[in-house]
Structure 1
Amino acid sequence: MIAEMQIRNYSPRTISSYISSLTRLSLHYHLSPDLLSLEQFKDYLSERITADKISNSTINQAIGAWRILQCDILKREWSTFKVKRPRTHKKIPQILSPEQVQVLLSCISNIKHHALVSLAYATGMRRNEILSLRVEDIDSARNMIIVKCGKGGKQRQIPIKSSLLKILREYYKQYRPSKFLFEGYRPDMQYSPTSFRNILRKAALKSKVNKRITPHTLRHSFATHMLESGLNLKQLQLILGHNAMKTTSIYLHVADTSSIPIPDLLEIKTNETHG
């Protein structure tokens, strides 16, 4: 099953989650998962929802693993073993105002931490994408960052401004990372996700920004502020690396686009007619 997911270019994290999900299912019944019926799988999910209060994402992981097992490994018809995914309700993302972001950054004196948080906010990259960045992924000649470990293994390019490039250069001169742009206590190790969260937690306390701030809060803030600055939804989708426009469109619910200048289409048409 691992080989099948590797061939389909699943990320190591997804492979690990799917294998863990099927292992837990197997241990629950003390049977190999290929011997389990659809009803047993449904009963297992129902019990975990009731007893463990598992989230929709955990349920979806279990269903995804079940489908790969049934369809790709055992070559069975999905219609026979199909399980409907739970209905999801998109939450309005929590964001920071541009002023709150600046206050937050002003409370981070360590140049490495400042560069890390600045990069997260100014590019809207996911946490794992930032921590997986290598030094050579920064194309300073073109003012671009090449994201090579996007969701689903997809690559994309993100334009960066000279202000961010200056911050990254100052950081690089002082720390001289050799492999990953942000390294852990060993040069060949990525920076810790926990350490990233702790930087934001401490900065939030110091800045007195009364919000729970995570790397994803910075991503949400980036997306909202880009829309408010006039970036169109398709451009934002490409920068964020979303597969579907529907995912990106949630930011329309929080962005204040009232200050973006709207052209007078009738006036434009009149001018063209007279010309």
Structure 2
Amino acid sequence: MDILFWRQTIVRKYYQNYTLEANRCYFNNCFSISTAWQSYYNDKLIEGYSLITLKAYQVQSNLLIKHFGDIAIDQITNDGLKQYLAKVGETLKPASLAHRVRFIKSLFRWAHEEGKIHRNPFSKLKEPKSGIRVPKFLTEKEIEHLREACQTAKEHAIIEFMYSSGCRIGEIVLINRKDINWSNNSVVVRGKGDKESEVYFNIRSEIWLNRYLNERQDEDAALFVTERAPHRLSIAQTRYIIKNVSLRSEFNKEISPHQLRHSYATHLIDNGAPLEVIQSLLGHEKSKTTRIDAVLSGKQRHEHYSKYF
């Protein structure tokens, strides 16, 4: 009698668990992390998220799967996520950890809004505090060392253009030859959120760009291309070029592409450019400078650039 009772109890418990699992899968169609990511990616692409941002988020999605397995997203608990963040937080800088938290919050907020999960358990998840870091930049002497280390017209053109325009690397690789306005040394770039802005480059950059383009024999539309089977340079390939040039230079240290952007802004400040001019030239969108950006457009922005750079 006792054995029969326990058998019935075990079968009943198993059936209840099976039913709960079936109901859960029916509700969210067993919405795994990978399935959630693909749907999230498609939606955010339509909303105008940049491919660079989405590529970075894809890395975060893969890391979640690596840790938890490709489970249904509603199986990730508060405790489980805290353990995950605590573990990776042992080796990550606060800014990198904050990036992971932003992605997780964004993914689960989206899943909740889309009705894929009953509730968002991570709506109150906070990003780690990170101190204000002073951006690293190169001195004008170090910029000269970089120039001296360039061995090809392409290396010269990339270094000069990135430094004199203040462009992000993600903007550089998207530029096409036809985008350049040679009459006033300007180019319209597509930046964060697929927003367009006009940037300028100096005469030295113009000289090396022309020399590089005149050397090319391909018909590829991209401004910067690979040597073999010419096609558009990727972000990784552009980073590699800048890394090699910096390691060959006299100061012999690896620099990041973003340091060229910081150097551009710092040297504008050193030459007396007002902060609002720099914010406009860098394409920063801040509520306090919206009105200023509207004023500093077109001809005036170009005049400010020529005056201070």
- Equivalent position to 2:157, from 115, 128, 139: 115
**Matched residues in 2 for 1:146 and 1:2: separation?**
26
- Equivalent position to 1:166, from 181, 201, 207: 207
Counterpart position of 1:46? 86
**Matched residues in 1 for 2:198 and 2:259: separation?**
21
Counterpart position of 1:249? none
Is the contact between residue 161 and residue 201 of structure 2 (CA under 8 Å) also seen in structure 1? no
**Matched residues in 2 for 1:234 and 1:116: separation?**
27
Return the offset for 1:161. 2.9
Is the contact between residue 25 and residue 33 of structure 1 (CA under 8 Å) also seen in structure 2? no
**Matched residues in 2 for 1:224 and 1:26: separation?**
41
The amino acid that maps onto 1:43 is Q
**Matched residues in 1 for 2:287 and 2:274: separation?**
11
**Matched residues in 2 for 1:171 and 1:194: separation?**
20
Secondary structure of 2:79's counterpart equals helix
**Matched residues in 1 for 2:187 and 2:221: separation?**
15
Aligned in 2, Cα 1:244/1:77: closer, same or farther, shift over 3 Å? farther
Is the contact between residue 121 and residue 218 of structure 1 (CA under 8 Å) also seen in structure 2? yes
Secondary structure of 1:101's counterpart equals helix
- Equivalent position to 1:239, from 281, 292, 309: 281
Secondary structure of 2:138's counterpart equals coil
Return the offset for 1:40. 2.3
Is the contact between residue 98 and residue 127 of structure 2 (CA under 8 Å) also seen in structure 1? yes
User: How high is the sequence identity, in percent, across the aligned residues?
Assistant: 26
Counterpart position of 2:147? 105
Aligned in 2, Cα 1:154/1:70: closer, same or farther, shift over 3 Å? same
Mapping of 1:215-234 within 5 angstroms?
A: 215-234=257-276
The amino acid that maps onto 1:175 is R
The amino acid that maps onto 2:197 is R
Aligned-residue RMSD, C-alpha: 2.7
Counterpart position of 1:180? 222
Deviates more, 1:4-13 or 1:77-86: 77-86
Aligned in 2, Cα 1:26/1:200: closer, same or farther, shift over 3 Å? closer
**Matched residues in 2 for 1:38 and 1:156: separation?**
41
Return the offset for 1:37. 2.5
Aligned in 2, Cα 1:245/1:164: closer, same or farther, shift over 3 Å? farther
Deviates more, 1:173-182 or 1:27-36: 27-36
Higher Rg of the two aligned structures: 2
5+ unaligned residues in a row in structure 2: which ranges? 1-39, 289-309
Aligned in 2, Cα 1:37/1:81: closer, same or farther, shift over 3 Å? farther
Q: How many residues end up aligned between the 2 structures? A: 243
Aligned in 2, Cα 1:9/1:187: closer, same or farther, shift over 3 Å? farther
Secondary structure of 1:218's counterpart equals helix
TM-score (norm 2): 0.69
TM-score (norm 1): 0.76
**Matched residues in 2 for 1:238 and 1:79: separation?**
39
2:41 matched to 1:2? Answer: yes
**Matched residues in 1 for 2:180 and 2:251: separation?**
31
Aligned in 2, Cα 1:125/1:62: closer, same or farther, shift over 3 Å? same
- Equivalent position to 2:189, from 147, 153, 168: 147
Counterpart position of 1:14? 53
- Equivalent position to 2:97, from 48, 59, 81: 59
**Matched residues in 1 for 2:51 and 2:235: separation?**
16
The amino acid that maps onto 2:94 is N
Counterpart position of 2:75? 35
Is the contact between residue 151 and residue 241 of structure 1 (CA under 8 Å) also seen in structure 2? no
The amino acid that maps onto 1:64 is R
Return the offset for 1:8. 2.2
**Matched residues in 2 for 1:84 and 1:210: separation?**
39
Return the offset for 1:116. 0.9
The amino acid that maps onto 1:169 is N
Return the offset for 1:14. 2.4
Counterpart position of 2:6? none
- Equivalent position to 1:74, from 112, 115, 119: 112
